[in-house]
Amino acid sequence: MKIFRKTVSAVLLAAALLWYASPSVQTLLVGAGAATGSAPGLSVREDGVREVQSTTDERLSTGRRYTVRLFGAIPLRTVETIGNWRQLVASGAAIGIRMQTQGVQIVGFGGIRTKSGTVHPAQDAGLMPGDAVLSINGVPVETGADFSRLCDSETPVELRFLRDGAPQTVSVAPALDEDGVYRIGAWVRDSTSGVGTLSFYDPASLRYAALGHGISDVDTGVLFGNGGGQIYAATIVGAVRASGGEAGELIGVFSGEETDAIGAIGRNTVFGVSGTLYAPIDGTAYPLASPDEIRFGDAETVCTVDGAVPQRYRVRVIRKDVHASPQTNGIMIEVVDRALLDRTGGIVQGMSGSPVLQNGMLIGVVTHVFLNDSARGYCIYAAQMAEKLLESD
């Protein structure tokens, strides 16, 4: 009987060791930096930070090595995590943005008053708000003036345009209005500008990411196709406080002169705006946090709400794995810093792109505010934003 009990005990111990040591169990037990505590008897110790060479990128990446031990003594497995970038410089600086659209973007329609009545050539041809007109009769269209000039034709014109990224063509017959000018009855926009926040950049390549969301047309909500542009250092000269369900806003000024630009715009996506800085700017480098490394509770956001120098303000992480859009994932924060609440009432327009820090890591980037509670807002995971934007155009 004793021999039988010893045999059973040995088999059970071996089975337990195999279970604990299996890769699937380790995946459950070890996040990127901490044990979940879901298995009794296991402890996880960080053995240090290492650097690895990416197979697709010449830059060094940051990794961490952990040892999983049973009862704190028996080593079972070494687990290594690898980050995408070694460190990114968190900014929080206010920036001015000037971006040309890809072609000209249709933002609305108007009727053409002719001798025989009001007509709607563009709408009748099937054009829609958000369509980006690239050329007319084979001639590239870059400005609203180009669009008006090329549509002033007695004969039908062929428009080549993008809709949801797909090229299409349509023939439109301009109508002669009461002023003696041929028009198709479409309002277009060829550029946009505004103030936002620079989130972070890679000190090795000077690739930057900003805003945390794309630049969309204010009338149609359609994401602008990027026709090129630049970013500029901005100064915040005022703030409209958020209140009564209305979003607040930072009021900023910037030069807009090409010689004063600090970087080029390369991409405009749902994850933010990205491009390349012309020179390094002030900021502190931090490692990227994976979602598993983010904790509920105290954190800081870096933003510029007065003048041109970024400041740190206290916030709290109150939710994780939330979606501000179908494509993005992140956290929800609450502003608890009295200085920021007094200045802006919470999160306001212009703060989009403000980096969020916790435990010496870059964890997120502010993107949206709750209109019914301006102290709370969404942040995209900094790791997701970096993965999507810090790559070559």
Catalytic residue annotation:
213, 337, 352
Q: Which residue has the tokens 């072609």?
A: 103
The phi, psi pair for 45, rounded to 5°, reads -125, 130
Q: What letters, b where the CB count within 10 A reaches 16 and e where it falls short, cover 80-117?
A: ebebbbbbbbbbbbbbbbbbbbbbbbbbebeebeeeee
The sign one gets for the Cα dihedral 227, 230, 231, 233 is negative
Q: What span, in angstroms and rounded, lies between the C-alpha atoms of 78 and 218?
A: 51
CA angle 318, 321, 323 (to 5 degrees): 105
> Among 315, 342, 371, which residue's Cα sits nearest to residue 92?
315
Output the CA torsion 57→60→64→67 (10° steps): 80
Tokens of 173: 């017959």
Compute the distance between CA of residue 337 and CA of residue 301 in angstroms, rounded to an integer. 10
